[in-house]
Amino acid sequence: KAGVTQTPRYLIKTRGQQVTLSCSPISGHRSVSWYQQTPGQGLQFLFEYFSETQRNKGNFPGRFSGRQFSNSRSEMNVSTLELGDSALYLCASSILQGVRYEQYFGPGTRLTVT
């Protein structure tokens, strides 16, 4: 099976702009989660979508939003970019194994805000 794919891999944006990142999960996986990774804050959970509905949400401002399509592909959007949004954004697709979800990560999108 193909793994989780994320596009684009690298992105440079200017402060105040908005950006959309895309994630295609592993075939058959219905849950997609997004994480932000920065040197200062480490790995932080943004949100999770399951069957086109947001199921869990982390502590990020409303500038961060996402959605999931009927084919399980997901996008996340960041509006009014700030310098502090520069990070590696990781997408993970999940499948239920018993009572626990196992998450498989994509390669990430490296966002640089200048």
Partner 1 sequence: AQSVTQLGSHVSVSEGALVLLRCNYSSSVPPYLFWYVQYPNQGLQLLLKYTSAATLVKGINGFEAEFKKSETSFHLTKPSAHMSDAAEYFCAVSGSGANSKLTFGKGITLSVRP
The residue count for binding partner 1 (CB under 8 A) is 27
Please identify which residue in the block is written with the tokens 């790995």: 43
Applying CB under 8 A, among 20, 30, 50, 65 the residue interacting with partner 1 is 50
User: Does residue number 85 form part of the binding site for partner 1 (CB under 8 A)?
Assistant: no
Q: How many residues does the chain have?
A: 114
Applying CB under 8 A, among 32, 68, 103, 113 the residue interacting with partner 1 is 103
Beta-strand runs (E) in the chain: 5-7, 10-13, 19-24, 31-38, 42-50, 53-57, 64-68, 74-78, 87-97, 100-105, 109-113
Applying CB under 8 A, among 24, 33, 36, 72 the residue interacting with partner 1 is 33
Applying CB under 8 A, among 26, 32, 72, 108 the residue interacting with partner 1 is 108
